[in-house]
Chain A
Amino acid sequence: MIEFSLADILSFLLLATRWTLALSAIAFLGGGIGALLLLLLRYARPRVGGRLMHLYVELFQGTPLLLQLFLIFFGLPKLGLDVSPLLAATIALTLYATAFLAEIWRGCVDAIPRGQWDASASLGMTFVQQMRDVILPQALKIAIPPTVGFLVQLVKSTALASIVGFHELTKAGQVINNATFQPFITYSIVALIYFAICYPLTHWSRRLERRLSPTGHR
């Protein structure tokens, strides 16, 4: 039987961590773009997008992420579309992130006083100008802590991709465990790696929050 050193285990896990990071980044970016589009739809005149966004958000927040992943990974091939584990995980996490970020950001935009809309409208600004120059810069400040909070959530959610066989950190942990039969050490290391990713994020969000709180903010 081959013995694995701690260094072997660690390097194997760290290589798989790249996929966890990549999946998180893609889902966050994709979700961010999706959420921004939903948000513009929600506030644009005429206001038809509100109901649509609401339905989407409810649907994705009201069902388990694991189920969404199964639907895409096992469901799409039934429709004749072949999806790899990476593609399935990417689609599922992006759709999921879109729903949550849209809801978080909607709350932040709604928190901007109505007077800001009134004042910018009375100056003749268009909807896009109002959003870009007046509403979003202010909403951004209050959006950072909950957004980074969700990013942490998203990083941890990528572990679900291991179930459809995507080789990210958790899957790598399982593989190692199957070879070494040392679940406590293996999964402890896996947990520590997740923590090492998430902790700096929360810390960073707190610093950003402090730096972005301007002299001019009420």
Chain B
Amino acid sequence: MDPQINKSAPMIELRNVSKWYDSFQALKDVSLTVNKGERVVICGPSGSGKSTAIRCINRLEQHQSGEILVEGVELTADFKNIELIRREVGMVFQQFNLFPHLTILQNLTLAPRRVRKMPRAQAEELAMRYLTRVRIAEQAHKYPAQLSGGQQQRVAIARALCMEPQVMLFDEPTSALDPEMIKEVLDVMVELAEEHMTMICVTHEMGFARTVADRVVFMDHGQVVEVAPPAEFFASPKNERTRLFLGQLLKH
């Protein structure tokens, strides 16, 4: 039986989530609530557990203690439960992870056809709509390797959107891109934010955080150190480690 999705619950809730890789503790009692329509940016030094945290939300990584709830449904080891939650949670990766053996259009239609059992024509129509939104419709019949990094990442965003998720996770979406391509990807993400998509975004793009985030989360050594609205976060960070991190970022 499918667990009942609770429409009034927060979109995502992490309660004291901890995770270990052998003896190394990657997440220490991480708690975070993200409401519907909220845009949250997670930043922090590398190895701070920020990617691990969002990868736990759709169970690409398994947490060992604490609870993760997506729309009030607790994430358990049960396959049905995991697959149900993954349909509601879209994800965009640092390395794009497009399927290299499929065309752009096929990349977008695969999951809707297989997972949502959508007829082919309908899936293709949906795919073209999202490709148009990310301004890349003319590339539909090419293969991923024929596209630039920025184009590939926009396709990856469109692919996740084709499942019509309730929330989008971004795992350093611009970190693997050449500088001149970062803007085209951020523009698409800003548009998405303006449409009130619930977003959790791990990124070092502080300009993006300033303009679209409702809250900025700073993580260090597997812990949530500080959570604040961007104006407050950048102007008067409370924690010493946050100040140090922002100082290093702004030096460049």
Whether chain B is bound by chain A comes out as yes
State the A residues within 8 Å of B (CB): 45, 113, 115-116, 118-126, 129, 133-134, 137-138, 141, 214-218
Cα A217 to Cα B93 with chains together (Å): 19
Contact A124 B115, CB 8 Å, known A119-B99, A134-B99, A216-B101: yes
Are the CB atoms of A218 and B160 closer together than 8 Å?
no
Nearest-neighbor residue (CB-CB) of A215 within chain B: B143
Least CB distance from A109 to B in Å reads 14
Which of B11-19, B79-87, B216-224, B239-247 lies at the binding interface?
Answer: B79-87
Does B58 belong to the interface (CB within 8 Å)? yes
Contacting A at CB under 8 A, from B95-119, are 95, 97-103, 110-111, 114-115
Chain A positions within 8 Å of B79 at CB level: 45, 126
Instruction: Report Cα–Cα, A121/B183, bound state, in Å.
Output: 28
* Whole-angstrom distance between the Cβ of A214 and the nearest chain B Cβ: 6
- Nearest CB of B to A136, in Å: 10
| A143: min CB distance to chain B, Å | 13
Set of chain A residues within 8 Å of B89, measured between Cβ atoms: 122
Would you call B100 and A217 a contact (CB within 8 A)? yes
Please list the 10 inter-chain residue pairs (A to B) with the smallest Cβ-Cβ separation, ordered nearest first.
Answer: A216-B143, A119-B97, A123-B111, A115-B97, A122-B91, A124-B86, A124-B87, A124-B115, A216-B100, A129-B114
User: Contact flags (1/0) for B59-92 with A, using CB distance below 8 Å?
Assistant: 0100000000000000000010001101101110
Are B145 and A133 in contact, with the CB atoms below 8 A? no
Chain B nearest CB: distance from A46 CB in Å?
9
Known interface pairs A116-B99, A214-B101; A121-B146 also in contact (CB < 8 Å):
no
Residues of B at under 8 Å CB distance from A?
Answer: 58, 60, 79, 83-84, 86-87, 89-91, 93, 95, 97-103, 110-111, 114-115, 143-146, 156, 159-160, 163
Q: Could you write out 20 A-B pairs with CB less than 8 Å apart? A: A45-B79, A119-B93, A122-B58, A122-B160, A123-B110, A123-B115, A125-B115, A126-B79, A126-B83, A129-B115, A134-B99, A214-B100, A214-B101, A215-B146, A216-B102, A216-B103, A216-B143, A217-B100, A217-B101, A218-B145
Q: Using CB atoms, name the residue of chain B closest to A132.
A: B114
Complex contacts, A45 vs chain B, CB 8 Å = 79
B91 nearest CB neighbor, chain A only: A122
A8 to B152, CA, bound (A): 65
Residue of chain B at shortest CB distance from A133 = B110
Is the Cβ of B146 less than 8 Å from the Cβ of A216? Answer: yes
Most buried by A among B111, B143, B156: B111
What separation, in Å, do the CA atoms of A216 and B103 have in the docked complex?
A: 8
Given the known A-B contacts A121-B60, A129-B115, A133-B114, are A215 and B163 also in contact in the complex, defined by CB atoms under 8 Å?
A: no
Determine the residue in chain B with the shortest Cβ distance to A137. Answer: B101
Asked if residues B101 and A125 are in contact (CB atoms below 8 Å), the reply is no
- Distance in angstroms from B85 CB to nearest chain A CB is 8
Contacts of B163 in A (CB 8 A): 123-124
Residues of A within 8 A of B86 (CB): 121-124
Residues in B whose Cβ lies below 8 Å from that of A216: 100-103, 143-146
In the complex, A119→B55 CA distance in Å? 11
